[in-house]
Chains A and B, each alone.
Chain A
Amino acid sequence: MNKANQDQPPSDIEDSQTSSDSSDGSSKYAGLFRRPETGAFMGMALVFIVFGFFGYEKNFLSVIGSSTWVNHASTIGIIAIPIGFLMIAGELDISVGAVLPASAMTLGVTSGYYDLPIWIGITLTLCIAAAIGWINGMIVTRTQVPSLIVTLATLFAVSGLTLSLAILTTNTTQVALNAPGWAKALFGGRYLGGFRSSVFWWIGLTACFIFILHYSKWGNWIFALGGDKESARNAGIPTNKLKIALFMLVAVCTALAGICQAIQFNSAQSPTNFTLIFNTIIAVVVGGVLLTGGFGSVMGIFFGTLTLGIVQQGINFTNIDRNLSSLIIGVMLLIAVLMNDTFRALATSWSTQKKKNGGDI
């Protein structure tokens, strides 16, 4: 059922705002309303207005001010979309918290400490990440262990391995990395008044992922996997291969984020990034993906990530006592999700009203 929403071409998101004005709901606006990302967009718009107002005095809206929260969102966003794919397909991957530092350290040790050419370091980093993703996928598909537990195990295994290999090879847990000019420009540059390279990677990847999820057969397969695994397999979808590929995609995208981070900040550290696990899952859920799988959209996750970035960084542009930061972050996220749910409920009831538009499965 939900899949029906995905087949419409994406139209200008700005229109969704005007749609709230037209109470009679012409079929064009109804379509916009039903789109899963509309709720996520509304949540984002809400927190943006709140922090735009309270943070105005401290330049929250200026170019350099906005670059801080967009930059923060970009690292999470690169990882959150493939995580969203996995969640739509009914799985979870929390090993990203270890894969990110592991990737940064791999690059730091090979191209920083041992001074190998950067392209060798990058290739090796991506390969190692792909291998971790493959291991995750193999264990999940070959055993009955839930992916949460499998990736929990790899989270610890990879972080332990990162620490011990770092100590073994470099005798420290933090390595410096000086990338050559082209790599710096590609992965760790700053453009348009402060936006990091990772922001452009994020936007580019979002475009690719929109195509994959909403316009290719793989997208159909992913939704089918999260909807009903048995029927998906009976329909001839290579479910195991698809899942392994998704786990590998998550790990490789995480490695890309790690590479951007290491080159941008000229250093890599080994401590496990537990916050990243929460942040990616929060971004995906705020973006309207159901925890039970089968429903979601790439633009929704994109807006969800921006919401998270605005809320987490926006707090610093206000005069609120810092002891209350976490409380405000929690409340704002809850409001954003509630807003999203309200819109989804609205969307679902609307689509049942207009069955002829939404009943093609």
Chain B
Amino acid sequence: MNIKKTLATMAATTFIATGAWAQDIAVIGGSINDGFWNILKKGVEDAGLMVEANGGSVNYLLVPNYDNFGPDLVTLIEQAVAQGVDGIAIPVWVPESQMPALLAAREKGIVITLYNAGADKMEELGALNYFGSDEYVAGVAGGKYLAEKGAMKILCHIQIPGAINLESRCQGVVDGAKEAGSETYVVRMPANLDQDMVGTSEALKAELIGDDSIDGIITLAAWASDAAANAIEQLGANDRVMLGTFDLSSSVLSRIESGKQTMGIDQQPYYQGFLSTATLFAHLKFGTKIVTEPVLTGPAIVDASNIESALAGVALGAR
């Protein structure tokens, strides 16, 4: 069944590929104001060099922000279709909104590959592959890690209340910590504090002052981890509070190096951008296909034990 579907897609693709003189693909992603997406963009651009060397092109389309997520994503899918691309690489964040548009795109013979989110939609979309990690599983890993290191009450900080991927990360932390016998306290900050370092730092400080039994914080973005580290520093609570975060940045890693932060959960966005772009193009151009599916790029936990190699990657903008 699955093979049949793939063959059908491939047949359609070959037809289009021979009809057009270049393979154009669109990569649809999140806002580049977000550090995570800059790393992913580097992956897309690096793969883009290979694509261009082989006569294709990559158009990187991104949502301006996360305020109107579902509709914005559908608009981008429609734009990619309007531009006549042969392949689309995209995360599935809002399946109810995105699926009809993606299925319509597939009807036109466009090959779809998924990354970052939406592994469970692979079959329905007849997608080429999936490159990413699972938010919930990563949350469980993070919650368990801090709890096993001795944190009894972990604060899980959500910077955009209502964003479903963030909610499932914290749900994972709750369950992971519970497994190891610890408690989790989920804090949903008002969305206007998103990307606001000072505001978030003060708000987290208030939480730490208000409840001195909190001995662990997990933030869901690298910048939020900077804010949390600042709050902990201000209170001189480095000995009391362990800090973990989703996603890496140079400041996260330098804190791990100097012992001010316990860990970072990496889903290796560089690979998500690079592999989805490169394999999609290679499939269109050369007919190749990775047999393993889905391809998991995380969670990989970075702590004091493996910090050296991670630091080298950050300096080059790939971690």
Q: Which of under 10, 10 to 19, 20 to 34, or 35 or more describes the interface residues of B? A: 35 or more
Task: Among B62, B65, B94, point to the contact of A265 (Cβ < 8 A).
Answer: B94
Residues of A within 8 A of B74 (CB): 265
Known contacts A173-B161, A270-B161; A313/B71 CB under 8 A: no
Cross-chain contact A271 with B190 (CB below 8 angstroms): no
Residues 171-190 of chain A: 1 if any B CB is under 8 Å from the residue's CB, otherwise 0?
01110110000000000000
- What is the bound-complex CA distance between A59 and B191, given in angstroms? 36
Distance between Cα atoms of A101 and B160 in the complex (Å): 14
Instruction: Answer whether residue B68 sits at the interface, using C-beta atoms and an 8 A cutoff.
Output: yes
Chain A residue nearest to B24 (CB atoms) is A58
B81 partner, pick from A64, A176, A264, A267, beta carbons under 8 A = A64
Interface residues of B in 49-94 (CB under 8 A from A): 59-62, 64-71, 74-76, 78-79, 81-84, 94
Evaluate whether A273 and B68 lie within 8 angstroms (CB atoms) in the complex, with A59-B84, A166-B162, A265-B96 already known.
yes
Q: Which of A52-82 contact B (CB under 8 A)?
A: 58-59, 62, 64-65, 67-68, 71-72, 75
**Which residues of chain A from 120 to 140 have any CB-CB distance to chain B below 8 Å in the complex?**
none
Determine if B8 is an interface residue (Cβ-Cβ < 8 Å). no
Query: Is A172 in contact with B78, judged by CB distance below 8 angstroms?
Result: no
Out of A72, A174, A276, name the residue touching B67 (CB < 8 Å): A276
| A64 B82 Cβ-Cβ under 8 A | yes
Asked whether B97 is an interface residue with its Cβ less than 8 Å from the other chain, the reply is yes
- Asked if A269 contacts B69 (CB within 8 A), the reply is yes
Whether the pair A172, B167 counts as a contact (CB closer than 8 A) is yes
For window 11-65 of B, CB contacts with A under 8 Å fall at 32, 41, 59-62, 64-65
The answer to whether A270 touches B162, judged by C-beta atoms less than 8 angstroms apart, is yes
Instruction: Among B59, B82, B84, point to the contact of A68 (Cβ < 8 A).
Output: B82
Nearest Cβ on chain A to B179's Cβ, whole angstroms: 21
The verdict on B258 contacting chain A, using a C-beta distance below 8 Å, is: no
Chain B residues within an 8 Å CB radius of A172 = 164, 167
> Is B188 engaged at the interface, CB distance under 8 Å to the other chain?
yes
Look across to chain A and name the residue whose beta carbon is closest to the beta carbon of B85.
Answer: A58
Given A59-B84, A267-B94; A316-B69 close (CB under 8 Å): no
- B187-228: CB near A (< 8 Å → 1, else 0) gives 010111000000000000000000000000000000000000
Q: Which residue of B lies closest to A72 (CB)?
A: B75
Does A358 have its Cβ within 8 Å of any Cβ on chain B?
no
Q: Known: A172-B167, A276-B67. Is A271-B94 also a contact (CB below 8 A)?
A: no
Q: How far is the CA of A275 from the CA of B97 in the complex (A)?
A: 19
Residues in chain B near residue A316, CB distance under 8 A? 59, 61, 76, 79
Q: Is the CB of A271 within 8 A of B64?
A: no
Contacting pair A274 B97 (CB below 8 A): no
Given contacts A172-B164, A173-B161, A173-B163, contact A276 B68 (CB under 8 A): yes
Determine if B191 and A274 form an interchain contact, defined as CB atoms under 8 angstroms apart: yes
Cα separation A222 to B62 with both chains bound (whole Å) = 40
Determine if A173 and B162 form an interchain contact, defined as CB atoms under 8 angstroms apart: yes
Is A156 a contact partner of B190 (Cβ separation < 8 A)? yes
* Closest chain B CB from A74 CB (angstroms): 11
Asked if B100 is at the interface of the complex by the 8 Å CB criterion, the answer is yes
Q: Is the CB of B64 within 8 A of A312?
A: yes
Known: A266-B96, A267-B94. A174 touches B62 (CB 8 A): no
| Nearest-CB residue, chain A, relative to B62 | A322
Q: Does A109 contact B (CB under 8 A)?
A: no
Q: Complex: how many Å from CA A59 to CA B68?
A: 25
Which A69-98 residues sit within 8 Å CB-CB of chain B?
71-72, 75, 97
- The answer to whether B67 touches A265, judged by C-beta atoms less than 8 angstroms apart, is no
Task: State in angstroms the CA–CA spacing of A311 and B179 once bound together.
Answer: 50
Judge if A113 is at the interface, Cβ distance under 8 Å.
no
B216 smallest CB distance to A (angstroms)? 23
- In Å, the complex CA distance between A58 and B76 comes to 13
- Decide: A269 and B162 in contact? CB cutoff 8 A: yes
* Chain A 233-247 per-residue mask, 1 if CB under 8 angstroms from chain B, else 0: 000000000000000
Provide the residues of chain A in CB contact with B82, threshold 8 Å: 58-59, 62, 64-65, 67-68, 194
State in angstroms the CA–CA spacing of A264 and B70 once bound together: 10
A159 at the interface (CB under 8 A from B): yes
Contact of A269 among B59, B70, B81, B188 (CB under 8 A): B70
Choose from B59, B78, B97, B188 the contact partner of A163 (Cβ within 8 Å): B188
Beta-carbon contact of A322 and B60 below 8 Å: yes
Q: Does the CB pair A261–B71 fall under 8 Å?
A: yes
Q: Are A272 and B191 in contact (CB under 8 A)?
A: yes
User: What string of 1s and 0s marks CB contacts (under 8 Å) between A22-56 and chain B?
Assistant: 00000000000000000000000000000000000
Q: With contacts A267-B96, A270-B162 known, is A160 near B70, CB below 8 A?
A: no
Proximity string of chain A (265-292) to chain B, C-beta cutoff 8 Å, 1 when within and 0 when not: 1110111111110000000000000000
Tell me if B167 and A173 are in contact (CB < 8 A).
Answer: yes
Contacts of A275 in B (CB 8 A): 64-65, 67-68
Does any Cβ of B come within 8 Å of A317's Cβ? Answer: yes
Q: Does A323 contact B (CB under 8 A)?
A: yes
| B61 and A271 form a contact (CB under 8 A) | no
Contacts A58-B83, A265-B94, A266-B96; A274 near B192 (Cβ below 8 A): yes
Residues of A within 8 Å of B164, CB to CB, are 172-174, 269
B191 touches A159 (CB 8 A): yes
Give the interface centre of B59, B74, B76, B83 by most chain A CB atoms within 10 Å. B83
**Interface hub of B94, B163, B190, B191 (most chain A Cβ within 10 A):** B191
- How far is the CB of B302 from the nearest CB of chain A, in Å? 27
Given contacts A265-B70, A317-B79, 8 further A-B contacts (CB under 8 A): A58-B84, A71-B78, A75-B71, A159-B191, A269-B69, A271-B160, A271-B191, A276-B68
Can you list 20 A-B contacts (CB < 8 A)? A58-B59, A64-B81, A64-B82, A67-B82, A68-B75, A71-B78, A72-B75, A173-B163, A173-B164, A194-B82, A261-B71, A269-B69, A271-B161, A271-B163, A272-B191, A273-B67, A276-B67, A313-B75, A313-B79, A316-B76
Top 9 closest pairs, chain A to chain B, by CB: A267-B96, A173-B162, A265-B97, A270-B162, A266-B96, A65-B82, A271-B162, A64-B82, A58-B83
